[in-house]
Structure 1
Amino acid sequence: MSNPLLKKFDTPFGTVPFEQIRPDHFLPALKDSISEAKEEIEDLINDEELPSFENTIIRLEEIGKNVSLISSIFFNLNSAETNDEIQKIAQKFSPLITEYHNDILLEKRIFDKVKAVHDQKGQLELNQEEKTLLEKTYKAFVRNGALLDDQQKQRLREIDKELSNSSLKFGEHVLKATNSYELVIKDENDLKGLPEAVIEQAFETAHQKGKENCWIFTLDYPSYIPFVTYADNRSLREEITKAAGKKAFDSNNLNNEELVKKIVNLRLERANLLGYESHADFILEERMAKSADNVNEFLNELREKAMPAGIKDAEEVKNYASKLDGIGDLQRWDWAYYAEKLKKEKFNIDDEMLKPYFQLEKVLDGIFEVASKLYDIEFVKNSNIPVYHTDVTAYEVNNTQGEHIAVFYADFFPREGKRNGAWMTSYKGQYVKQDVEHRPHVSIVCNFTKPTNTKPSLLTFNEVTTLFHEFGHALHGMLAKGTFESLTGTSVFWDFVELPSQILENWAYEKECLDIFAKHFENDDDLPHELIEKIKETASFMEGYQTIRQLSFGLLDMKWHSITKPFEGSVAEFEDEALSPTQLMPKIEGTNMSCSFSHIFQGGYSAGYYSYKWAEVLDADAFEHFKERGIFDKETADKFKRHILEAGGKEHPMELYKKFRGKEPNPDALLKRAGLIK
């Protein structure tokens, strides 16, 4: 069988030939690539030369490039365009990857060579990037069991295999639970309060699902969020909110409670095997925050400062709902609805007023222009680059001298094979091998409202900032400039990786930036100046409540991953205890966050969800620097590009940050921006 994954890609820039790849290509290609990598490993083991940086560390860095490429293609499709066949393959694919990595990291003969090089690091003439690679390689072996005895190594292999399968199953359950719910509305009166575009989209959703003369709302964010924000029918808001809260927590075959327990207990056992008291201790050793104590102190200090504002926000919405509609028992399904009405009354602005000015295509072109102004790069649509779905658009990225910088994929609309949320990902990183530079291929995946028969895709302002956020990650990947792929692009400490994404959100609030792309989709009128001022005014609206909500996720994550004994109790009770210090609204009985918390149980954010807030401190402080000089100041942008975006993980992030800013970040910048201190 001819397998396109095992051939050199004969496509523009060596991009993935998606249209040639079938699901049944993946396992054979992976097995073949692993066999090839193992031969290279054997050559390394049998090399009789004394271990050196070149013949050991660099060689390890370069082994298995095909395995990495095939894995990235497969797992990206499993997130953005999956189906039952791909999910079945994943149950075999994922353990093979885990076993392959363990075969390397638990092989004593390889570790002995790595250790020999590490032991002589003081005598080696290495540059900063090479020193970081040596340290990272050595730690990768130690932190993955190289110092364990044979029995412990065998148990570690078993744990990693179980974790791999359990995380996949967790994500499958969440996706299936999301797709299985439909709110079918047949009475037009039940649509009162909803914007016309939302109603039209719900009608089209029903048509796509083969149902006529009705409207269907789902748990996909572009459907769910507008419904709970605008629908006047309180009982239907309650129904869909409860459905969202019960995802993978209902008493059926998609329930994730046992998987939550299994995952946290396996992570604890793994950490204990490696000599750590908890999974959080293991993870945070390789983070800017350094320890669970530091993270908890950081989160709780922010919570104490934000809680008075959070309580005040909650009381304000409760009083408003009582005054407006006599609601005496404000519930979670009421929050977005009354907060949005209050915002409109206070500031005379709401999402529906702004959406006509945020046509997706114009916002994207605007972001491209922002990137051009800051970093001298240009985006050119290229229909010859293969894509994995008709919704996806591919671009070639060049600098202003015409040199190729990257390939960029944009995938914006929800569908059944795509998980909820928004993320940036990479198909191929940047690196240099034998003096040839390989440039990156990156993608952003979102779930925005689709265009309808009468309107283009119009974004809420929150979706605009989401697009800026993910594009910030993409810039981090696209502008990478280093030698070793494991240190370039977004290969940085997890609590530093959100800085490039979160700082870019700041531009979306600035008139100088909004003037570039905020044009009415019908007549191309500029977004009025008074609306821009109102966007800035409302930036801190309900910020106390939103800060507490975000901190609650971080505290829940830390609670799960700070356990020091196997967990056997109730997932619901454990969560309630973790969230009690941040409760501003009554809990909805029968709902649970943990069972659908994909970031920490499927993604890479275990003991790391705090990093969003951690990076907000960095981004608020960093953007102050831009504001002092001008948001498009070239000198400041060049410094940010050189020390943050291009530098990747070649040096400790705090050192890189100080090179950009000239000092460590000041946490007060975040609190001031959020309006939590004066």
Structure 2
Amino acid sequence: MAPEKYRRPPQLPPKFTATPRSLVDDTRQLIERSRNVQDRIVKDVTAAAATFENVVLPIAHDDNKMAIESHIIGFYQAVSTDKALRDASTDAEKLLDDFGIESSMRQDVFDLIDAVLKNKATLEPESQRLLEKDHKSYIRNGLNVPAGPQRDRFKDIKKRLSEISIKFQKTLNEEQGGLWLTPAELSGVPDDLVSALKKGEAENEGKVWLTFKYPDLFPTLKYATNAETRKQVFIQNENKCNEPNVALFREAILLRDEAARILGYKNHAEFRIEDKMAKLPKTVDDFLADLRTRLAPGGKKEIEELLKLKNQDLKERAINDGTDGKYFLWDHRYYDRLMLEKDFSLDQEIVAQYFPLQTTIQGMLKIFETLFGMVFIEVTGDDRAALADGGKSSDIVWHEDVQIFSVWDDEGEGEGFVGYLYLDLFPRDGKYGHAANFNLQPGYIDENGKRRYPCTALVCNFSKPTPKKPSLLKHDEVVTLFHELGHGIHDLVSRTTYSRFHGTSTVRDFVEAPSQMLENWCWTPSQLRSLSHHYSYLSPEYEAAYKESSGKDDKPSEQIPNSLIANLISTKHVNDALFNLRQLHFGMFDMTVHEPGSREEVEKLDITTTYNKLRKEISQLDGPEALGGDWTWGNGQATFGHLIGGYDAG
């Protein structure tokens, strides 16, 4: 039970009790209310009388109220176990997007906002920014295009792009692909993973079902000694969402280009980057080209060293498959891991034993408490029931696995309430498949001057605990958790007047910066040691299981040894060039498809070939094309949700 002073937050958490019917009904009511606000402003205010207070402010207050409900309405499709609820969430999001497009293209509202801007009244900085951003947003949504066929076409494009985005992400979330493999084909993969996989029956008897979810995919690519298995898994994962996402991706690229040209831009990249810190595509292109020039020699050298290791490994295992001169995409995680073990005495499986998920989270929260003067109180038992406000305690979470924390400023910061943090950490059917932070309710100042507090959720996909082992994090998963938690903290500590600017709702090419800076704590010896807690100390059952699996009579040290920390930190920049060249491939592909020289060029673009050729040219790693195949062996772009979901030209 929480200390008394933390048991009654001034704001109750939201409830997750929606039904498929209520989601759509509530969405229609939100839209109607918002439309009425806009209609009333247009009816009551003339251009001559337009001010920030009677035009922009009522819309901002309505946006605040809309966000409190709409974010959660759209969130169900990423986390609900009920397909009907996910489908309704998708339908509701489409209604909201369509209304957003309609609102953003209202000439009558824009004329009033234009009048306010021209009045040049003195406003405080955030209100001035809101006015300028709103004004620019209408222009970027087509209101500088003369009314008529072109503007109508632009509106149709916006609606179709919304449909594409929703359908593309839904396909990723609900992807259920995988491979039936024999235990022999999975030789080298940790036994606890293989033993937990679904067992086959009938024609698949003796096999297990390996999914493309992260807890299955990454360990297989890292540990499977059978190169053919790694190849199969890698290629099939690249093709897991071909239908319908390949066609949707191409359609999105074409429509974005057409829309940008209607607005008078040379291409979609010019349109998108204008509103970011970089401002111009040339700034981005020059930056990426400079990175490529600097990284390429290092990547070549790293491949040479890894290829030596591969050739030595094949020789020791008497494998003569004709691939000793090539370093493949499906080789990299395996030999990168082997190099860390052989050259740096670093076994990530041993490292992971010191980072059970729950104790690692507690350690991370302590770091943030120290850094930012915060207090995290997990809401459980009677406290959870009390915050359900007459409902069931399960009403304030969307799944039984979800943890909820009330977050407060500590004594030195004034002891005020900050907001709610949710952790949804394990994979399940229909759930968002990567790691991300979702704002559920933004913070802002309401029309009565009262602060509204934010709610934010981390949605991740770490391995689930078993009777013999808790969920154990590899170091790169510790970094991922810290990164996403960084977004959550950014969301929580934000203090804005308007929800429009809350938390991570900043320019997209800054949004990752706070989390990337906070990742550095994962490479600090003192913090790594304080985060660590060997899982054998968690319970007598885990202690017995550790002794049985390790064959040792004694437990290891409770915290990670300094020698292991030193080994880990010494690997921080091992194969760093290849890691960053992989990221560079994503960025340069993004710019290539969004920055064509002409409409004809984008129409002729073979996106799949472009994706795979660029990966080879930039990362220098071989794909199936090196074995005599063509460039159409995989469709990685069809699995790349970021480029459809907001990071385009970003």
Please state which band the TM-score falls in when normalised by the shorter chain: 0.7 to 0.9
Alpha-carbon separation, structure 1, partners of 2:445 and 2:511:
22
Change (3 A) 1:82 1:287: farther
Match of 1:416 among 391, 406, 429: 429
Shift of 1:354: 0.1
Q: Does 1:61 align with 2:69?
A: no
1:450-529 paired onto structure 2 within 5 Å? 450-523=464-537, 525-529=558-562
The answer as to whether partners of 1:555 and 1:579 remain within 8 angstroms in 2 is no
SS in 2 for 1:192: coil
Alignment map for 1:140-539 (pairs within 5 Å): 140-151=137-148, 152-176=150-174, 178-185=175-182, 187=183, 189-202=184-197, 205-206=198-199, 214-249=207-242, 254-326=243-315, 327-328=323-324, 329-383=326-380, 384=384, 386-401=396-411, 402-433=415-446, 434-523=448-537, 525-539=558-572
Deviation at 1:95, TM superposition (A): 3.4
Cα contact 1:106–1:153 (8 A) shared by 2: no
Secondary structure of the 2:359 match is helix
Aligned to 1:449, what secondary structure does the other structure show?
Answer: coil
Asked if 1:112 is matched to 2:125, the reply is: no
2:636 corresponds in structure 1 to: 593
- Shift in Å at residue 399 of structure 1? 1.0
The equivalent of 2:93 in structure 1 is 94
Q: Deviations over 1:324-378 (max 9, x none)?
A: 2135133222221112111111100021120110000011001110011001111
What SS is found at the alignment partner of 1:183?
A: strand
For 2:591 and 2:608, how far apart are their aligned partners in 1?
16
* Conservation of the 8 A alpha-carbon contact between 1:90 and 1:168: no
What is the alpha-carbon distance in structure 1 between the residues aligned to residue 347 and residue 429 of structure 2?
29
* Residues 243 and 65 (structure 1), Cα distance of their counterparts in 2 relative to 1, 3 Å cut: same
Q: Which residue of 2 aligns with 1:660?
A: none
Deviations 1:546-604 (A, max 9, x none): 01011000001111111241424432223244435304111235112112111102x11
Aligned-partner residue type, residue 51 of structure 1: A
Conserved 8 A contact 1:183-1:240: no
Report the AA paired with residue 151 of structure 2: K
**Which residue in the other structure is 2:552 paired with?**
none
Question: 1:201 is aligned with what amino acid?
Answer: A
Cα deviation, residue 24, structure 1: 2.0
Counterpart code for 1:94: E
Instruction: Pick closer, same or farther for the CA change 1:588–1:415 going to 2, 3 Å.
Output: farther
- In structure 1, what is the Cα distance between the partners aligned to 2:573 and 2:442? 37
Q: Is the CA contact (8 Å cut-off) linking 2:616 and 2:622 kept in structure 1?
A: no
Which of 8, 12, 15 is the aligned partner of 2:13?
15
In the TM superposition, residue 279 of structure 1 has moved relative to its aligned partner by: 0.8
Match of 1:70 in 2: 69
CA contact 2:276–2:509 (8 Å) conserved in 1: yes
Do structure 1's residue 27 and structure 2's residue 24 form an aligned pair? Answer: yes
In structure 1, C-alpha distance between the alignment counterparts of 2:493 and 2:172, rounded to whole Å? 34
Contact preservation (8 Å) 2:589, 2:610: no
Shift in Å, 1:459: 0.3
Tell me, in whole angstroms, the C-alpha distance in 2 between the residues paired with 1:94 and 1:153: 23
Superimposed CA distance per residue, residues 48-95 of structure 1 (whole angstroms, 9 cap, x where no aligned partner) = 361111111222211244443333113222122365424543564333
Deviation readout 1:257-277 (Å, 9 max, x if unpaired): 221221011111111121111
Contact residue 397 and residue 406 of structure 1 kept, 8 A: yes
1:304 Cα deviation from its structure 2 partner: 0.7
How much is the aligned-residue C-alpha RMSD, in angstroms? 2.2
TM-score of the aligned structures, taking structure 1 as reference length:
0.83
Question: What aligned pairs does 1:115-126 form with structure 2 within 5 A after superposition?
Answer: 115-121=114-120, 124-126=121-123
Distance 1:594 1:282 in 2: 21
State the alpha-carbon separation in 2 of the partners of residues 471 and 377 from structure 1. Answer: 14
Q: What code does the residue aligned with 2:222 have? A: T
Match of 1:584 in 2: 620
**2:230/2:330 contact within 8 Å kept:** yes
Q: Secondary structure at the match of 1:182?
A: strand
3-state SS in 2 of match to 1:540: coil
Q: Distance between the aligned counterparts of 1:330 and 1:183, measured in 2?
A: 26
Task: Structure 2 unaligned segments of length 5 or more: list them.
Answer: 1-7, 316-322, 388-395, 538-556, 626-632
**2:105·2:142 contact (CA, 8 Å) conserved in 1?**
yes
- Residue 390 of structure 1, CA deviation: 1.2
Name which of structure 1's ranges 589-598 and 263-272 shifts more when overlaid on structure 2: 589-598
**Aligned residues of 2:94 and 2:166 also touching (Cα < 8 A):** no
SS in 2 for 1:407: strand
Residue 600 of structure 1 aligns with an amino acid whose one-letter code is: L
Displacement of 1:214 in angstroms is: 4.9
Indicate the structure (1 or 2) with the bigger Cα radius of gyration. Answer: 2
- Does the Cα contact within 8 Å between 2:253 and 2:593 map onto a contact in 1? yes
Candidates 575, 578, 603, aligned match of 2:611: 575
Asked if structure 2 preserves the Cα contact closer than 8 Å seen for 1:480 and 1:489, the reply is yes
- Letter of the aligned partner of 2:486 in structure 1? G
Counterpart secondary structure, 2:603:
coil
Percent identity (aligned): 28
1-structure distance, mates of 2:147, 2:173: 38
For residue 141 of structure 2, give the secondary structure of its aligned residue in structure 1.
coil
The match for 2:574 is 541
- Answer whether contact 2:616 2:623 (CA < 8 A) is retained: no
Separation in structure 2 between the aligned mates of residue 482 and residue 583 of structure 1, nearest angstrom: 41
Distance in structure 1 (CA, Å) of the matches to 2:200 and 2:563:
39
CA–CA separation in structure 2 for the residues paired with 1:14 and 1:266: 43
Q: SS in structure 1 opposite 2:456?
A: strand
Residue of structure 2 equivalent to 1:606: 648
In the TM superposition, residue 184 of structure 1 has moved relative to its aligned partner by: 3.7
User: How big is the shift at 1:169?
Assistant: 2.0
**1:212 Cα deviation after fit:** 8.3
In structure 2, relative to structure 1, the CA distance for the partners of 1:264 and 1:359 (3 Å cut) is same
CA contact (8 A) 1:559 1:578 kept: no
Q: Per chain length, whose mean CA-contact separation is higher, i.e. which structure has more relative contact order (CA < 8 Å, sep 6+)?
A: 2
Q: Distance in 2 between matches of 1:408 and 1:509?
A: 25
Q: Matched residue pairs, number?
A: 585
Q: Residue 414 of structure 1: SS of its match in structure 2?
A: coil
**Contact 1:379-1:395 at 8 Å conserved across structures:** yes
The answer to whether the Cα contact below 8 Å between 1:26 and 1:70 also exists between their aligned partners in 2 is no
Assess if the C-alpha contact under 8 Å between 1:198 and 1:223 holds in 2.
Answer: yes
Query: 1:37 and 1:552 mapped to 2: Cα distance?
Result: 42
Amino acid at match of 1:575: Y
**1:468-502 alpha-carbon deviations (Å, 9 max, x no partner):** 00011111100011211111211111111111111
SS at match of 2:407: strand
SS of the residue corresponding to residue 491 of structure 2 reads: helix
- In structure 2, the CA distance between the partners of 1:374 and 1:463, relative to structure 1 (3 Å rule), is same
**SS state at 2:589 partner:** helix
3-state SS of 1:143 partner: helix
Q: Does the residue aligned with 2:439 lie in a helix, a strand or coil?
A: strand
Q: Distance in 2 between matches of 1:350 and 1:75?
A: 41
- CA shift, 1:109, in A, is 1.6
How many angstroms apart in 2 are the aligned matches of 1:606 and 1:206? 40
Q: Deviation above 6 Å: which 4+ runs of structure 1?
A: none
Gaps of 5+ in 1: 1-9, 609-678
One-letter amino acid of the counterpart of residue 572, structure 2: A
User: In the TM superposition, what is the alpha-carbon distance from 1:113 to its structure 2 partner?
Assistant: 1.1
CA contact (8 A) 1:98 1:160 kept: no
Cα distance in 2 for residues equivalent to 1:454 and 1:15:
35
